[in-house]
Chain A
Amino acid sequence: MEHQSLVRRLIAKPEFGPFVLLVVELVVFTAINPTFLSPLNISNTLVFTVELGLIALAMTLLMTAGEFDLSVGAVFGFSPVVMWTLFNQEVMPLELAFLVAIVIAALIGLVNGLFVTRLKIPSFLVTLGMLLVVRGTALFVTDGFPQRTWNAGDQWIAQVLVGDFHIGAFRLYMSLFWFIVVAVLFWYILTNTKFGNWIQASGGNPNAASARGVNVNRTKLILFMLCSAMAALAGIISSIRTSAANPNSGTGYELEVIAMVVIGGTALMGGRGTIVGTVLGVFILRTMRNGIVLVGVPGLAYNIFIGAIILGMMALHYGLERRHQAGN
């Protein structure tokens, strides 16, 4: 009886569906093409997965608070441009340029947050506008050309952010380490801290949260800034790894990141969020992208699978929510 109730509780968790889906993906892709689980393929997949994953983790907190940010893809492209332009023009050392780029990104988040919380404009519209402003600025500053980053290898900060190392046959990057650190930190914040309680309350019922003395606006402002700063960090990591700071990079990432978060079980309208679910969502989408190429499905068909996964997961989460509310 107790065992049965444990199983039911496990199934009712929002992370259960994504977990099953990820396992199914791994089994199916490995069965069709065993090289899917080769160290080389896993290493290659992990590299980019964790860069997008860093943004998805911050987006999880923001969406739990009832908002989202469409400008993260543009900030992903813009921040490395800022950092490398400042460094290449010998305005400042790379470490300082890195800090300046992160601070500018946080300020972009602050502007987003102020528009949303003070002017009460929906975050969809505010961040859509900011997407265009930031992307346009990156293109204007660079004339559309990528900034050179190939002298990054000598810099200690590049080693700290993206240095590679080997564990057995696996070639891993420091970005994986940062992804794990951020995931654990954000999980702790959301599930164990007062601030995590405020994040969920701000998204679930902002009026009730305000009535209890929670500063909903400040909570959202912090999360907008965090989201932009994480997008900047991910963009900088990516630019060092690929040796190119392209002002166009990150186009479309905002929707992929939101899809990762939603597939993981975070409610689009706020109030409920799961970092574990987002980690699963990140791996589900990146595994799908990698797997369909390996099994011979044309890459252009990728979006069909992603769309189907989103619809399926939404139906699952909706069903679980209904059961939960009915007390089953």
Chain B
Amino acid sequence: MAQDLVRMEHITKFYGRVQALDDVNFTVREQEIVGLLGDNGAGKSTLIKVLSGAVPSTSGDIYMRGKKVDIRSTTDAIANGIETIYQDSALVTQLSIARNLFLGREPVVGPSFLNRMDYATMNQVAGELLRRVGITKNIPTTTPISALSGGERQAVAIARAMYFDSDLIILDEPTNNLGVAETRGVLNFVRNARDRGHSCIFIAHNIHHVFQVVDRIVVMRRGQIVADNIDPKQSTVDDVELVITGMTDEELAAASATPAA
């Protein structure tokens, strides 16, 4: 069995008096794709925010390859090889593709006091990365993000994670608002990421998308992990829905049959 890449132990998070995470233990192994599922308010977004440094946990520890790490900011997370791709891609729409890809880690050329960005390298690398993530259209890397479609924006965010060779890529609802072809591109990327040695956490409301790419499914409910080793090859979407909702077959069938008020 592959080694643990990330291990979160006894993670608790309070927002004021509301407890969002309750003693959560969560593991992602090397070259593993984990689907993180749960209803709205289950705690999956909070768990991801803690791991990506967006919010601090109230208590608990995080280990990377067995070594305890202190993740207090997104910069800390990036430095530890954790890259997060959010629903809105976290891109600056006014900046070009190349300038977004290298934002915060721009290569410079010439004397250091001139602080001059190496546009030639940035554009060349950006072009290669776009081809690797499946953008075959001839889009100049100087194009601003605002001129790209939703799928192309996701591809740019994904390309960034690939270039900086992150160990763990967290995809938070990456297929939201995407067309069929664009969704297929994102799912292909996730499969390829594993082959290239990356691990991924894949969060999506569309369980069918999760089933297509993940190795293991983890389900959260009311701030706790209620199942952490569901094999998608030996389970059905219906099985997982039962775990997510915490209902029995009959309860779920009754709830589905009840017309909305």
The chain A residues found within 8 Å of chain B, CB to CB, are: 192-195, 197-198, 200-201, 203-205, 207-214, 267, 271-272, 324-325, 327
Contacts and interface: CB of A to CB of B under 8 A. Distances in A.
B147 interface: yes
Contacts, number: 72
Contacts of A194: 106, 108, 115, 117
Contacts of A211: 54, 74, 84, 90
30 contacts: A193-B114, A193-B117, A194-B106, A194-B117, A197-B95, A197-B102, A197-B106, A197-B117, A200-B92, A200-B95, A201-B103, A203-B94, A204-B92, A204-B95, A205-B90, A209-B92, A209-B103, A211-B54, A211-B74, A212-B74, A212-B103, A212-B105, A213-B75, A213-B78, A213-B105, A214-B103, A267-B94, A271-B92, A271-B94, A324-B144
B93 A205 contact: yes
Contacts of B117: 192-194, 197
Nearest to B147: A327
Contacts of B115: 193-195
A271 B100 CA distance: 13
B104 to A, nearest CB: 4
B19 interface: no
Given A195-B115, A204-B93, A271-B94, 16 more contacts: A193-B115, A193-B117, A197-B99, A197-B106, A204-B95, A205-B91, A207-B90, A208-B90, A209-B92, A212-B78, A212-B104, A213-B74, A214-B103, A271-B92, A272-B94, A325-B146
Q: What bracket does the count of chain B residues touching chain A fall in?
A: 20 to 34
Contacts of B131: none
Given A205-B90, A205-B91, A208-B91, A214 B104 contact: yes
B68 interface: no
Contacts of A272: 94
A211 B91 CA distance: 10
A305 to B, nearest CB: 30
A327 B145 CA distance: 11
A211 B90 CA distance: 8
A271 B91 CA distance: 12
* Of listed A207, A212, A271, residue having the most chain B CB within 10 A: A212
A276 B105 CA distance: 27
Contacts of B95: 197, 200-201, 204
B104 A209 contact: yes
* Of listed B103, B105, B108, residue having the most chain A CB within 10 A: B103
A194 B115 CA distance: 6
B75 A208 contact: no
B104 A204 contact: no
A194 B116 CA distance: 7
Contacts of A212: 74, 78, 90, 103-105
Contacts of A325: 146-147
A192 B116 contact: yes
Contacts of B90: 205, 207-208, 211-212
Contacts of A198: 103-104
A204 B94 contact: yes
A213 B106 CA distance: 11
Nearest to A325: B146
A192 B117 CA distance: 6
A208 B106 CA distance: 15
Nearest to A211: B74
A64 B50 CA distance: 31
